[in-house]
Amino acid sequence: MRNYDLEFLKRFSIVIVILAVITVGLIIFAYFLQHSIPTEPSPKAVQRVEQRIAPLGAVYAGSTGASAQAAVAAAAAAAAAASGAYGGTLDGKTIYDNLCTACHTTGVGKAPTLDHGHWDARIAQGKDTLYKHAIEGYTGPDGGIMPPKGGNAGLSEEQIHAAVDWMLSNLK
Ligand code: HEC
């Protein structure tokens, strides 16, 4: 080997070594960077984790959402039941005048009008049967159609009782 070849090899190896050191330094620096900057989890992963750690049932006590909702629903149902049709009145005449009169005053569709001739046989069945027929609906031998609660499902049973009572005490 000639002298300048040796010289070249020496310099070339030094350059290689320096480059290798820089490479290792960059790798270490990149490694350090990767660990010092917090990674952002993918939204899908977050979603999956949330699904896995979601509680099996909502807590149903105290003023938590579930019991509060149930309380509101119960209050609404109670209010709806309490208000009833025609303001929940138990005045038989009011109920009759608002609804039953349409058929029972005119006698339309074979509805019995308020006279004893139409009612004595019906009364003989007993008041409870009349109540029941008025609440559940009825088609008797005459073939007329008494709709359940006169067609207003918002009427309570007490209101129907009141209306029937009023009808029975106002027969001519
Ligand atoms: C759409 C017409 C109609 C309305 C509204 C109506 N009824 Fe009637 N109702 C009839 C008819 C028709 C009959 C006779 C059914 C038969 O005997 O075939 C009848 C029969 C009855 C009877 C006798 C049942 C029996 O066992 O003989 C009662 C009690 C009665 N209605 C109460 C009421 C009351 C109370 C209301 C109002 C809340 C009302 N009806 C509203 C058509 C109506």
Torsion 150-86-105-161 (CA) sign = positive
Take atom 1 of ligand 1 and give the residue whose Cα is closest. Answer: 103
Between vectors from CA 139 to CA 137 and to CA 143, what angle results, nearest 5°? 150
Under a CB-based contact definition with an 8 Å cutoff, are residues 147 and 125 in contact?
Answer: no
**pLDDT, tens digit only, all 172 positions of the chain:** 678 889 999 999 999 999 999 999 999 999 999 888 887 889 999 999 988 888 776 666 666 667 777 777 787 777 666 667 787 788 889 999 989 998 999 888 889 999 999 999 999 999 999 999 999 999 988 788 899 998 888 888 999 999 999 999 998 8
What integer pLDDT is reported at residue 81 of this predicted model? 61
The minimum-distance atom of ligand 1 relative to the CA of 167 is 35
Q: How far apart are CA 164 and CA 18, in angstroms?
A: 109
How many other C-beta atoms can be found within 10 angstroms of the C-beta atom of residue 114?
19
Residues near ligand 1 (Cβ within 6 A): 95, 99-100, 102-104, 109-112, 122, 125, 129-130, 133-134, 138-140, 142-147, 150-151, 160, 163-164
